[in-house]
Amino acid sequence: MSVSPPPPPAEAEPYDSGMLDVGDGQRIYWEVRGNPRGKPAVVVHGGPGSGCSPRAPRAFDLDRYRVVLFDQRNCGRSTPHAADPSVSLLHNTTDHLVADMERLRHHLGIGRWLLHGGSWGSTLLLAYAERHPERVSEIVVPSVTTTRRSEIDWLYRGVGRFFPEAWDRFVTGSGTGPDGDLVGAYARLVEDADPAVRARAVADWLAWEDAVVSAEGMGAPYAARPSAGQTAMVRICTWYFSHGAWLEEGALIRDAHRLGSLPGELVHGRLDLGGPVHTAWELARNWPGARLSVVESAGHLGGAETLRLVRAATDRFAA
């Protein structure tokens, strides 16, 4: 008697996807994977401007979750795409992205959803949760950042003391001095009329990003992106960081009390040089429902233990 092969893994393909018109001439790509009747969760990608990753659903048991992924404005499969130098970013701010998440939730008919994301993704999901706590069931964050200006200054200046050679090249590429506005300089360079100037600025920015995570043993993840993705990410990163993500300094940690007893799992690597664990510790102190787990051997990109803790949290919250 023949035996039918087992069904493919739930994460193999999205079972639903589309483009959502969010106004301002913007359309954001979204997809849903897992169990259509499962617990709703949304993955908020990092960057800003990196686009969603098909690996993100690894954090979930897809038999129990309905997992939403989406590309934030002007990146990934969303349109118009920031790789085109003629595309304006004026309608791409933190407020716009928070509103987009609400439109997407409503479009998909979701009442409350679990929020998951790290790095820039944690900044955006915290901004969303503090404005719409009634729409959030739980939060799971690996690699906590809040995009304070002090955190931006550390990432593009302070951590240079650990990588002086790479930072010197980064400063040189900016065309300004070590005490200058490095992020602002790159924001101007990636908008230059000369495509060669733009390309050089993108390469120099990504080389610095890769230098910061170089000790984590995962190669050069930023430079390995497709060229269109590289350009979009650097344009969006420099746009956001040169404006402090349009957030009042320290507001996300100050206002974490708004989350109250909302359950949160924070997982952060002790060896995260680009985003030191102090930010995660401050957030946990101000959010009564949060629990912080520090992974002694992990950096910003995480690893097996980070994924294990994240998956344990989503499994617990699925119940």
Residues paired with 140 in a beta bridge:
116, 265
Long-range contacts: 214-217, Cβ < 8 Å, 24+? 214/163, 214/166, 215/271, 215/273, 215/299, 216/271, 216/299, 216/300, 216/301, 216/303
Which residue from 233, 236, 166, 174 is spatially nearest to 201, judged by alpha carbons?
174
Backbone angles phi, psi at 122, to 5 degrees: -70, -35
| CA pair distance 15, 34, nearest whole angstrom | 8
Q: 50, 78, 119, 143: which one is catalytic?
A: 119
Tell me if residue 45 is catalytic: no
Q: 71, 100, 204, 272: which one is catalytic?
A: 272
Which residue from 148, 150, 144 is spatially nearest to 254, judged by alpha carbons?
148
Q: 45, 81, 268, 300: which one is catalytic?
A: 300
Q: Specify whether the backbone of 304 is left (phi greater than 0), alpha (psi in -120 to 50) or beta.
A: alpha
Task: Extract the tokens encoding 150.
Answer: 């002090």
Pairing label, strands 16-23, 26-34: antiparallel
Tell me if residue 119 is catalytic: yes
Tell me if residue 300 is catalytic: yes
Active-site residue list: 119, 272, 300
